[in-house]
Amino acid sequence: MRIHIITDMEGVSGIVKGAQTGGGMPLYDEGRKLYTEEINAAVRGAKAAGATEIVVMDCHGAGKEWSFNSLMPELLHPDCEFVVQDDWTEYTDFLEEGCDAALLVGMHAMAGTRLGVLNHTVSGQDYFNLWFNGTLVGETGIHAAVCGNWQTPVLLVTGDDAACAEGTELLGSGLTTVAVKTGLGIQSARQIPPVRARELIEAGAKQALSNLKAVDPWNPGSPCEIKVEFKHTGAPDKLRFRKGVERVDDRTITVTADTWWEAWTAFYF
């Protein structure tokens, strides 16, 4: 059984402040240790469920050389391999080769979710709203669409309760969720301590993988229109000449293609 563990930092127990997730900031090393240990819990759970190949992919944009490079290699469970990428959604080889399921660990809610800890979508500076064929999505939706493009279901979402609720709304009640904190505001939360959160994630990963058909691979539909409402006008200014990109107002673009992946790759990179 081949399992992709796709991870972000903001939804980890013990992480509430932006300074714990920004590369080079004073609390960043504390944050990355908490992050790595939660991922190890998911690796243990996947192994207990029978995973024979586990690839971890860090999707946290920490800034500069830390982007998608926040894991502490020395602390990682020896029974996984891990990918460091230069651009988010760049690495798809493991999915293309055929992957049985994806587990999303450490997720945060989409931009504009009031009780979502460190809520944002893609880039806190740029993205205001993102839709795939009319469905408002956050980063769980992006990961689910990438995985779904190669028929891989997302079976687990961990993070704060807002991220878990967002996952269930998108992917249905077959999704296993593990909430490790309750958001009280963008940098406030009531939390389950990391040691217990890891036990819950290990058990959640094992349970999620007990039924590989619990959630269907997610496909936003074909053809697919991706719509991005940015916070500012700069990004649409840059994207307006891309093939397939249409500017619908000063801050909003749409891209339409036969498949979600074609639409995504037409503007994202």
Long-range interactions of 249-252: CB distance < 8 A, separation 24+: 251/128, 252/227, 252/228
Question: In this structure, are strands 127-132 and 245-249 parallel, antiparallel, or unpaired?
Answer: unpaired
For the segment 34-73, give every residue that binds Zn ion (CB under 5 A): 60
Closer residue to Zn ion in complex, CB, 60/77: 60
Give the interface segment with Zn ion, choosing from 4-12, 121-129, 190-198, 218-226 (CB under 5 A). Answer: 4-12
Give the interface segment with Zn ion, choosing from 10-18, 144-152, 199-207, 218-226 (CB under 5 A). Answer: 10-18
Shortest Cβ 68–Zn ion spacing (Å): 10
Backbone phi, psi, residue 39, to 5°: -65, -40
Closer residue to Zn ion in complex, CB, 10/202: 10
Residue 8 as a binder of Zn ion (CB under 5 A): the answer is: yes
Q: Which residues contact 206 (CB under 8 A, 6 or more apart)?
A: 45, 46, 48, 49
Shortest Cβ 233–Zn ion spacing (Å): 25
Give the interface segment with Zn ion, choosing from 2-10, 11-19, 70-78, 92-100 (CB under 5 A). Answer: 2-10
Shortest Cβ 5–Zn ion spacing (Å): 15
Q: What is the dihedral of CA 46, 48, 51, 53, to 10 degrees?
A: 80
Closer residue to Zn ion in complex, CB, 7/49: 7
Shortest Cβ 203–Zn ion spacing (Å): 24
Which residue of this chain has its Cβ atom nearest to Zn ion in the complex?
Answer: 60
**Which two structure tokens, joined as six digits, stand for 239?**
């994207």
Mapped onto helix, strand or coil, the DSSP state of residue 219 is: coil
Give the interface segment with Zn ion, choosing from 9-17, 190-198, 201-209, 250-258 (CB under 5 A). Answer: 9-17
Q: Say if residues 170 and 138 touch (Cβ distance below 8 Å).
A: no
251 class by beta-carbon count within 10 Å (0-12 exposed, 13-18 middle, 19+ buried) = middle
Q: Do you find a cis peptide bond into 223, omega within 30 degrees of 0? A: yes
Shortest Cβ 60–Zn ion spacing (Å): 4
Mapped onto helix, strand or coil, the DSSP state of residue 97 is: helix
Residue 206 as a binder of Zn ion (CB under 5 A): the answer is: no
* CA atoms in the 13 A half-sphere facing the CB of 177: 24
Shortest Cβ 250–Zn ion spacing (Å): 27
Closer residue to Zn ion in complex, CB, 62/224: 62
# residues contacting Zn ion (CB under 5 A): 4
Please give the residue ranges that form the binding site for Zn ion (CB under 5 A): 8-10, 60
